[in-house]
Amino acid sequence: MLKTFTGLLPRGDLSQQTSSGSSKDRSTMPYASVVHDDGKGAAQISLSLNTIDPQGESADSMVTCPDADLVDFDDCREESLADGSRYLFVQGYVYDRNRGAKQWRATLLTREGVLIDASEFNAPAEKDAAATRKNPPLTPARMKALVTAPAWDPIAAAFLAEAGAAPEAPEKDTLPGEPSGDAMVATLTGLMPDGVTVREPSGDSGYAQALVNDGRGATFVQVNAQPGMSDLVNDFDDWTSLSDGTLVREAQEADPDQKGGDGVVGWTVDTLRPDGFRVVITALNAPGWGQDAVRAEPALTTAQLKAIALDPAWPGLSS
């Protein structure tokens, strides 16, 4: 990874070189990173490989320009290339234009489902480092050449073969009666309170997510709905029982996913109906897991989350 990566970079001093290959359990992915200095200022540049279902919603989101209302960027370009792959280039920021480094990102999604993702900054580190130059060192054309270089072909082929000749999807147990992704998305978006906009909704069996904005910054919201969860009653001791026998738990946590997003808090409401149908919903004060906070608290209150989770529409989805 490192030899191929550095061989594709323009001349300059290289320091802080790090890299990794992929592990059989997929806990690590091919990755390379350097601090590059062309004499105009040190800048971090990195590149990674991953596999993804090229026809899935997650893949589509990786090569689609973000919503300008939710993400601060200067320019974004989407392309479909002649070989059937898709390409995205975003000139944006780690945080926003008023703080932090610039981040220019090039992403290639091949027809086979290999994701080649490169980022460069105008600072020697992504976070907590002062800018050393006006812009990152590689031009947009150089970034495109970096991720589309034929030198990655044998590495991508080996990586795909290691993954089982097909992109791996996260393991997920599908339960009988679990609501469809379309039904989950329609219900979640339909239950949002007045005064918020909903962007980028997506879902899967028993799961839905969306970005919610009340005009003061994006909130990531996710909901899970599962039948047959009666045994969960013994897993927690802080349930509150409602008059109809439904159990409810509420939590407000800092860094709820333990991924270190700066200033992130999450509100969660967990509900368990007498028949074992569970609905749990979480809202972050950030646009996604592992991302930094963009507002003090989530756009939805715990009372609003509770109302969504307790709505009678959810159990009806599995009938």
Each residue's pLDDT tens digit, 186-213: 999 999 998 889 888 888 878 888 899 9
Q: Which of 185, 182, 273, 170 is nearest to 226 (CA)?
A: 273
pLDDT digits (tens, 9 = 90+) for 82-101: 888 999 999 999 887 888 89
Query: What was the pLDDT predicted at 192?
Result: 92
**Tally of CB atoms within 10 A around 222:** 20
Are 153 and 159 contacting, i.e. CB atoms less than 8 angstroms apart?
no
Q: Please give the share of the chain, as a percent, with pLDDT higher than 90.
A: 49
> Model pTM?
0.55
**Tally of CB atoms within 10 A around 47:** 25
Q: Please give the share of the chain, as a percent, with pLDDT higher than 70.
A: 91
Q: Which residues, other chains included, contact 68 with Cβ-Cβ below 8 Å and sequence gap of 6+?
A: none
Residue 136 has pLDDT above 70, yes or no: yes
Average pLDDT for 215-234: 87
Average pLDDT for 48-76: 84
Confidence of residue 166 (pLDDT cuts 50, 70, 90): very low
pLDDT digits (tens, 9 = 90+) for 33-45: 999 999 999 999 9
Confidence of residue 167 (pLDDT cuts 50, 70, 90): very low
Extended strands (E) in the chain: 13-20, 31-37, 42-51, 73-80, 86-93, 102-109, 114-121, 197-204, 207-213, 218-226, 240-241, 247-254, 265-272, 278-284
Average pLDDT for 290-307: 90
The whole-chain average pLDDT of the chain stands at 86
